Structures are given as structure tokens and as C-alpha cells.
Amino acid sequence: MKLHYCPVCGKKLGLRQHPTDGPVAWCEACGDWRYPLFSTAVSVTILNPERSELLLIRQYGEPGLVFVAGYVDKGEAAEDAVRREVREELGMKAENLRFHKSRFYAPSETLMLHYSCTVPEAMAQPNAEVDAWEWVPVEDVRTRLAPGLPTELYDDYLST
């Protein structure tokens, strides 16, 4: 992400040679370097205890099914964000958390951290963000996902 205006004072930024980082955005008004900002989010593969089915959701009136995901709050550990998102969106308890991989998602300037977890119960109690949910056999997940959903983070589960 290229910064054009200072996020502190709002003035137009210039480019200046940093002693160790090379060309970096510089705010003349603040007299300080301005590095690109980006968000951090988690995405979650939710598995049943037998690891034979994944829970997918439909949100915001969009077609197709997706994985649970959400932004990491300032000061929050990513693992806590996973537990919070699963609890808030589905009313379920995330157990056996495991980190898999990360990927920068340029369209929303977001670093995605992918986790998997199991949930002890099969019934979700979704909040208003979730239009529908369903358990999908692992072998059928790829055919059920929303069109255009980037799947690189989930390849471990989608290749079985």
C-alpha cells in the first residue's frame, strides 16, 4: 500500500531516502517517516471433532459459502481473535487451535492469518452477521465455496 497523505496530519507525503530502509514516505509537516499501514485478520477452518466436515457460512446476502473470518483488534492476540470470532459469529467454542499459514490479501490491504480449530458441538447459534451455515464433507468443500474466494490458505483441507 502506497501512502499519499500523512495519517497523522493529512498533508501530502513526499519520498525521502531513509538511512537504512531506502525510499520511504516522509511527512514534511510532522518531520517523520510514514510507513504503509495494513490490517490483520484471521480466517478459520472449523472442523467437527472427527475432522470429516468443515463448517461454512453465508454472510451479508452474498452468494456461496465462506470460512469464518474477522479482524484482529488492536492489542489482541490472533489466537484470541479466532476464539472470539467463532464464539461471536456462531456461538461455538473453538478448541485445538492450530496456525497454518499467512497470506497478504491486497484488495483489502490485509494480512490474513489462517487457523484451524475443532468445535465440540454440532449446532451453531449464529449472530446477525451469519445468514446461513452448514457442515460440508471435506471432499465437497471446494465445490461449495463462493466463486472467486482465494483458497491458497485452505489448500491443506481442500486437497483431501
Give pLDDT tens digits for 95-108: 999 999 999 888 78
pLDDT digits 0-9 by tens, 10-50: 999 999 999 888 899 999 999 999 988 788 999 999 999 99
> How much is the average pLDDT of 2-15?
87
- Judge whether 2 and 36 are in contact, CB under 8 Å: yes
pLDDT band at 1 (very low <50, low <70, confident <90, very high): very low
- Return the C-alpha torsion angle 89, 64, 71, 105, nearest 10: 170
Set of cell numbers at residue 37 = 499501514
E-assigned strands of 6-148?
A: 14-18, 22-27, 32-34, 39-47, 53-59, 68-71, 95-105, 110-118, 130-137
Residue 133 reports pLDDT greater than 80: yes
Residue 44 phi, psi (nearest 5): -135, 125
Where are the chain's structural domains? Answer: 1-36, 39-158
Flag whether the pTM goes above 0.85: no
How is domain 39-158 classified at the CATH fold level? Nucleoside Triphosphate Pyrophosphohydrolase (3.90.79)
Output the average pLDDT for the chain. 89
Pairing of strands 22-27, 32-34: antiparallel
Set of cell numbers at residue 146 = 463462493
Sign (positive/negative) of CA torsion 103, 106, 107, 111?
Answer: positive
Please calculate the CA angle 118-86-56 and round it to the nearest 5 degrees. 75
> How much is the average pLDDT of 56-64?
90
The pLDDT > 70 percentage for the chain reads 94
